[in-house]
Each structure stands twice: as C-alpha cells, then as structure tokens.
C-alpha cells in the first residue's frame, strides 16, 4: 500500500508518498530530514512505519524543499537514508 500525504494547489502538486510495503519502520529518515517531516508510528497492524507528521501535512511545500533541492543542500536526505527506497516526492 502507498500512503500519500500532501495536496495540490495553483502552484503545483506536493505529495510525499511512503510505500508501506517497503517501509520497515527503521526510522532512518527521521533524523536526516532537515524539515523534521517524518515520524515512526504503528500502523493498523501495530507494525512501525514512517509517516508524515500530522502538523506538517497541510503545508508540506512550505516545510520541505522537495527532493531535488534537498539533494543539492544535504549530503544525506530521506531518499538516500531509506534502505528500502520507500519514499517518493512529486516535487
């Protein structure tokens, strides 16, 4: 299953997707995110999974610079930290 977080507005589509079948809840994405977007929480089956924190879901584009910008600024980011490649951005 894929969990989609975000929104579309007049400036574009801002969705962060976590593939919950790939995510093992390791939490490696949490400390490397400069915007503190991620948390690890139990899913419906009490398995740990990465999620986008509730407080930032409606303002992802303001908080997260997106994959390309984050890659240019940081040596390690959520995509490179995730050993199972479970995270995707639309921007």
CA 81 – CA 21 distance, rounded (Å): 17
CA 82 – CA 91 distance, rounded (Å): 18
Q: What is the pLDDT of residues 5-61, one digit of tens each?
A: 999 999 999 999 999 999 999 999 999 999 999 999 999 999 999 999 999 999 999
For the chain, how many structural domains are there in total?
Answer: 1
Q: What is the DSSP string of 24-42?
A: ----THHHH-TT--EEEEE
Assign residue 38 the CATH number of its domain: 3.30.70
Range of the domain at 48: 2-89
Q: What is the value of pTM for the model shown? A: 0.92
CA 33 – CA 9 distance, rounded (Å): 24
The encoded tokens of residue 62 equal: 């303001």
Q: What is the pLDDT of residues 45-80, one digit of tens each?
A: 999 999 999 999 999 999 999 999 999 999 999 999
């Amino acid at each position: 299953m894929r969990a989609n977080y975000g929104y579309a507005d007049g400036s574009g589509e801002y969705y962060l997707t976590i593939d919950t079948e790939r995510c093992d809840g390791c939490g490696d994405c949490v400390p490397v995110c400069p915007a503190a977007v991620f948390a690890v929480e139990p899913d419906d089956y009490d398995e740990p999974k990465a999620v986008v924190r509730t407080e930032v879901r409606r303002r992802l584009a303001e908080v997260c610079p997106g994959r390309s910008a984050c890659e240019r600024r940081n040596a390690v980011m959520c995509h490179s930290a995730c050993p199972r490649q479970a995270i995707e951005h639309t921007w």
